[in-house]
Structure formats: C-alpha cells, structure tokens
Amino acid sequence: MKKTIISLMACLLFVSFSNAADPSSDRCKVEFFEKLYKTKIVGVKLLEEYPDPDQFYSAIAKQVGIPKIALDAVDNQFGWKQDDENFLAVIVKGGGTSDDWGVMVTKFPTGLKTAKSKEEKMKLLKKMEMKMVVIGYDGKIFFPEKKKRKTAPNQD
C-alpha cells in the first residue's frame, strides 16, 4: 500500500513537471497567432515541416492580412499604388522571438513586364524602389530609416 501511494505521488509529480506549455504562448505555433489575431488559421503546417522558417511565418502573415496592411501603409506614406504605371511586390519576414513583421515592399514599373531589350529593362530597373515596413504585433507601423554611409573627408 505504501509503495502504491509513493508510486502515485511520483507519477503526479512527474505529470505536473512534464505538462507542456500552453501552445498559444509559443511563437513557433499557429495557436499563438490565432490567439494574437483572434482568427482561425487554416492550412499552415508545423514549423518543422517547412524548409525555411520564413515560409511558415509568411503563410501565417498572409492569412492575418499583413501584406494588405503593408500595402496600405506604403500607399498612405508614399502614395504607392498598384496601378497601370507600377506593380508592387511584397516579401514578409517575421516570427521567432520578434514582436513584429518585417515587410519589404518593392515598386516596379509595369513596363518591365513588356520590355524588349536588356537596355530597356535596365533603364526601368533604375526606377525600382524598395521600402521596409515594420508592423508590430500590437498593430503599430513604422518605416525604419537606412543608415547613411559615412564618407571619407575630401583629401586634397
């Protein structure tokens, strides 16, 4: 009887220490983002099933509307629109221990799609622009500034 009680207590102690953390507190789990954004995320595999973690976080970002938020932000801040003159490409980075999404928005001239020569494409590529948009999990949006390179003083 004494051995049974000791065994039961040992099992209870083991179970209490081996209880996994709540999946909604783990940023590597879909449940974290479902709780954060109060939405159901479907079709996203486990993080370990993706060859690159960015693919996991990008799949989640698409479902919670991060690309749309970034596109709206560059429209509001810089007047960038997807129209007859330009098309916009979005690349989402995020996840892990970060509290935000990094979104690279690139503006390309639409003529790039129909350019015939390499010279014409190169000329159009010079008009390409990129902006980084950071969208916090709390919804705050900002545009980080590039650090300017220090130039050597003129040596006359």
Rounded (10°) angle between helices 66-78 and 53-64: 70
Positions of the chain with pLDDT under 70: 1-24, 146-156
Residue 134 lies in a domain: yes
pLDDT at 155: 52
Residue 45 lies in a domain: yes
pLDDT digits (tens, 9 = 90+) for 44-73: 999 999 999 999 999 999 999 999 999 999
Residue 156 lies in a domain: no
pLDDT at 153: 56
Residue 1 lies in a domain: no
pLDDT at 34: 95
- Domain tally for the chain? 1
pLDDT at 50: 94
Q: Which amino acid is at 134?
A: V
Q: What is the pTM of this model?
A: 0.75
Domain that holds residue 131: 22-142
Cα radius of gyration rounded to whole Å, the chain = 24
